[in-house]
Amino acid sequence: MEKTINRWQILVASTAVLLCTGAIYAFSVFAGPLSQVKGWSMEEIMLAFTINAAVGPITMILGGFLTDKGLAKWVIAVGGFAFSLGFFLTGLAQSPLMLYLTYGVLSGLGQGFAYSSCLSNTIRLFPDKRGLASGLITAGMGGAAIIAAPIANTLIESKDVMFAFRMMGIAYLIVVLIASFFIKRAPENYKPKGWSAKNPRTTRNAYNRNWQEMLRTREFYLIIIMLLMGSFSGLMIASNAAVIGQQMFHLTMRTAAFYVSLYSLCNCLGRVIWGTISDILGRAKTLLVIYTVVSLSLLVMTFFSSGGAFAVGIIGLGLCFGGVMGVFPSIVMENYGPMNQGTNYGIVFIGYSTAAFFGPRVASAIAENNQGNFTNAFYVAIVLAIIGLILDFIYIQMKNKAI
């Protein structure tokens, strides 16, 4: 059965799971109404988003390890269930502490399990289209808010934000349970029919490295920092898009929710587009373009206050955040091989979680100290993108010397 495995079916089912867990990117739609209903400050509420993303590596690494051991199906099912349950219980939260435990910890841990296993298991099935597969599977995470934002907004307007959390948690649970039936573990050293590796030097012993060996390479430290620099601006916008749109660009709540969906659409498309481009151009050269576009998009939002400028910024940052999330799994696999991808990428993902911990909090704190203005937060993100660009140049030179 493993020889006739339907890899596209597994990709679709895994993407469906991530379309649920990716609802974290629609958090800015919930944040404002949650503050109004409960009377909690935006900084208190954004801490839940920060915790959600920051605890991810705990289960990313453990889930990756279990996936490497052939338990992908169960890791995905458990992760999806935990995320859905956390989302539902958030609708019952009566204090910031309960919000942190349900949305922050429980959903965050579940999301880490599901994301790690869906990604690592699926790209093992596509050695011939690694960038495309990575882009498609991560597009589920990036595109989730396209669906979640308008649905959440409708439920909030018709009832309230707590009702929205409960109903969406139930819906996510149903989707996860159905999708889990169609997921199978990737066979070891899987090769699609008629395909052979272009570079015969990437043999099992010479190519695959475990996490201890990975930590001893110079490339690892560049990769994890570049991921941090590349994801900072995307997470900052993902958690505050609706708030930025309303406070700085004077959009209505409904229009701001539309821009959250637009950001998620671009996030989704960016993972596929940049993943495909990286198959042709190379991962590192693709990142040079991404860091440049991030800087330019933030500059537009900094110096122009029109709705058009916000749209340009949202589109550019969404595409590039998606690109970062779509390209880095392939970079890790190319450097350290497919055998330990789950564990290795889980460790590298700490760079993302570090950005998730600081990005939303820095942006919210700066805005609260500047009457809702995020301009200084944009400057911080621009500097980090430029640092990422410089590190990418160093990475390219390092790889060229190794050839």
Parts of the chain belonging to CATH 1.20.1250.20: 7-182, 211-402
Given a contact cutoff of 8 angstroms between Cβ atoms, the answer to whether 61 and 12 are in contact is no
Question: According to the model, what pLDDT value does residue 205 have?
Answer: 41
Q: What is the pLDDT of residues 38-81, one digit of tens each?
A: 988 887 888 888 788 778 778 888 888 888 888 888 999 999 99
Q: What is the pLDDT of residues 361-403, one digit of tens each?
A: 788 888 888 888 888 989 999 999 999 999 999 999 988 877 6
| Residues making up the chain, counted from first to last | 403
Rounded to an integer, the average pLDDT of 278-301 is: 93
Q: How far is CA 380 from CA 129, 217, 366, 386, in A?
A: 35, 29, 10, 10
Fold of 211-402: Growth Hormone; Chain: A; (1.20.1250)
CATH value of 7-182 in 1.20.1250.20, 3.30.70.870, 1.10.1670.40, 3.40.190.10: 1.20.1250.20
Sign of CA dihedral 62, 68, 70, 73: positive
pLDDT at position 203 over 60: no
Give tens-digit pLDDT for 117-171.
888 888 888 887 777 777 787 777 767 777 888 898 889 988 889 999 999 999 9
Query: Cβ atoms within 10 A of the Cβ of 288, count?
Result: 17
* pLDDT at residue 101 greater than cutoff 90: yes
DSSP 181: T
pLDDT at 328 over 50: yes
**Could you tell me which of 206, 132, 382, 400 has the C-alpha nearest to residue 284?**
400
Q: Which residues contact residue 51 at a Cβ distance below 8 angstroms, ignoring those fewer than 6 apart? A: 100, 103, 104, 105, 108
State the first-to-last Cα distance of the chain, in angstroms, to the nearest integer.
Answer: 39
Q: Considering the chain, what is the average pLDDT of its residues?
A: 86
Please give the Cα distance from 98 to 17 (Å, whole number). 25
pTM for the model stands at 0.76
Name the residue among 111, 38, 87, 49 with its Cα closest to residue 362.
Answer: 49
